[in-house]
Structure 1
Amino acid sequence: MDQLVGDYLAGMSVNSLAERYGIHRATVFSHLRRRNVPSRRPGLCLDEKVEAVRLARAGVSMRAISRRMGVDRKGVRLALVEAGLIVDESRALV
């Protein structure tokens, strides 16, 4: 578990950790929570945003993108709004 936490803190994604250690990503989150490891970030880094946009343009759904990248759908949605692929209706003018 120490190595898993260290890998997470070094920047490995939850999906990568799950694959590396042969466990489900929910188990990765459980181990991190038990060790009181703070979540790294709610959104996506620049490279992840680029990948999310590329996948969306290829027709991949937000749900599938979020699962593939191991991030929350809100983070994927924000990246797509920033890229102008979808309209943020909560901020649209009436």
Structure 2
Amino acid sequence: MTKNRVQSQTRLRSARRAELIADYEAGMPVKAISAKYGVHRSTIPALVRRAGAEVRVAGLDAEERARASALYESGMTLVEVARRMGIGDDAVRQAVLDEGGQLRPRCTSP
């Protein structure tokens, strides 16, 4: 028998919700907003829609994909590119593949 996990809910006052929406519209990553405001990342698009703002489409645009791919092709690792661009390494991996690049084998430590 498993126990139900207790999850706390963070209720944001209207001023705090407005700050969250402003951060979102300014391009702050959802993961960062989630950490800053203490809300689950799936809550953010719902709050954005309720405020009448436009929800961003997931993924990188063409310029970001090209930049991520170019940085990787210059010799940076997926993780290094991700950190520099403030995105996930999976997004970098997908950008490289979408741009027709090939992934290098992972380096293994002895």
TM-score after normalising by structure 2 = 0.53
CA distance, structure 1, for counterparts of residue 26 and residue 84 of structure 2 = 17
Q: CA RMSD in A?
A: 2.9
Equivalent residue number for residue 18 of structure 1: none
> Between Structure 1 and Structure 2, which shows a larger proportion of helix residues?
1
Equivalences, count: 76
CA distance, structure 1, for counterparts of residue 100 and residue 62 of structure 2 = 15
CA distance, structure 2, for counterparts of residue 56 and residue 68 of structure 1 = 11
Q: 1:61 aligns with which of 77, 102, 105?
A: 77
Equivalent residue number for residue 13 of structure 1: 28
Tell me, yes or no, if the aligned pair for 2:68 and 2:92 is still in contact at 8 Å: yes
Structure 2: unaligned runs, 5 residues or longer: 1-15, 46-54, 104-110
Displacement after TM superposition at 1:65 (Å): 1.2
TM-score after normalising by structure 1 = 0.60
Q: Deviations over 1:22-54 (max 9, x none)?
A: xxx955322253792128444211121111012
Structure 1: unaligned runs, 5 residues or longer: 15-24, 88-94
Displacement after TM superposition at 1:61 (Å): 0.8
